[in-house]
């Protein structure tokens, strides 16, 4: 009986928009809430060691709720909307489909606890939409780092020092597009770029869903 009610609640819950809770559309994010997401201006946001970094939006309002829902509240269906938002932005940057898309990896212990890597789900959907190729094996996180948001910029860099490792068979990969959800100081991208370059991979682009509001 208990299972029945849980299933019923799940069913009712899924019929409503996760954001406004009132749309009649039977989707996780209704068109009105999706259309409320705002893009940053199209173009390179910053450069890290010669690598271009693009950011699609600001970490606030529904975009923040979208990212947090997927990352912390097990709302896996939201990956599609995050990927769609990134893809719509990305089409204004390039229409090339020859990227090897690499989501920022989680350490295996954290992935085990969370049951999934949220950026892997986003990257899967992004590749489906864009026609680029997903690679989740190229680079792994070998150090179980602390969450970055609690740290100062210098602590962030230290926390991530030697956190990543490139797969030995992956060094023939080129044209990498790294995807992350939030780019604050760029320390995660910086460390991944350093690791990839040390493995001989130099054609790299970074793309984050959001950056915090200034
Ligand atoms: Zn809605």
Distance 19 CA to ligand 1 centre (A): 5
152, containing H or E segment: none
Alpha carbons 173 and 112: distance in angstroms, whole number? 27
35, containing H or E segment: helix 31-35
| Bridge partners, residue 165, by sequence | 140
| Bridge partners, residue 102, by sequence | 178
Tens digits of residue pLDDT in 144-193? 998 888 899 889 989 999 999 999 877 677 899 999 999 999 999 999 99
Distance 183 CA to ligand 1 centre (A): 26
Distance 35 CA to ligand 1 centre (A): 9
What is the distance in angstroms between the CA of the first residue and the CA of the last residue of the chain?
Answer: 50
Q: Is the pTM of this model over 0.85?
A: yes
DSSP string, 60-87: SHHHHHHHHHHHHS--TTHHHHHHHHHH
Distance 13 CA to ligand 1 centre (A): 13
Alpha carbons 123 and 133: distance in angstroms, whole number? 9
Tens digits of residue pLDDT in 75-119? 999 999 999 999 999 999 999 999 999 999 999 999 999 899 999
Distance 61 CA to ligand 1 centre (A): 13
Distance 152 CA to ligand 1 centre (A): 35
Domains of the chain with bracketed CATH: 1-36 (no CATH), 38-212 (3.40.50)
Distance 132 CA to ligand 1 centre (A): 29
27, containing H or E segment: none
Strand pairing class (133-134; 51-59):
unpaired
| Bridge partners, residue 139, by sequence | 166
| Bridge partners, residue 46, by sequence | 53
Tens digits of residue pLDDT in 15-59? 689 999 988 888 999 999 999 999 999 999 999 999 999 999 999
Nearest to 55 by CA among 212, 213, 207, 180: 207
50 CB-side CA count, 13 A? 5
């Amino acid at each position: 009986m208990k299972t029945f009610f849980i299933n019923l609640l799940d069913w009712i819950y899924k019929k409503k928009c996760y954001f406004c809770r009132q749309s009649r559309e039977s989707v996780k994010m209704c068109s009105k809430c999706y259309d409320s997401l705002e893009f940053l201006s199209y173009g390179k946001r910053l450069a890290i060691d010669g690598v271009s970094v693009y950011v699609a939006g600001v970490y606030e309002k529904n975009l923040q709720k979208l990212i947090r829902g997927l990352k912390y509240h097990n709302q896996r269906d939201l990956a599609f909307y995050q990927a769609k938002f990134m893809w719509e932005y990305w089409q204004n940057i390039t229409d090339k489909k020859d990227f090897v898309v690499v989501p920022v990896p989680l350490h295996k212990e954290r992935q085990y606890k969370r049951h999934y890597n949220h950026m892997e789900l986003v990257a899967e959907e992004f590749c489906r939409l864009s026609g680029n190729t997903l690679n989740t094996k190229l680079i792994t996180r070998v150090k179980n780092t602390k969450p970055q948001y609690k740290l100062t910029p210098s602590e962030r860099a230290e926390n991530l020092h030697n956190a990543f490792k490139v797969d030995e068979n992956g060094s023939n990969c080129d044209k990498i597009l790294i995807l992350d959800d939030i780019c604050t100081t760029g320390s995660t991208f910086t460390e991944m770029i350093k690791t990839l370059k040390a493995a001989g991979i130099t054609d790299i682009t970074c793309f984050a869903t959001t950056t915090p509001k200034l």
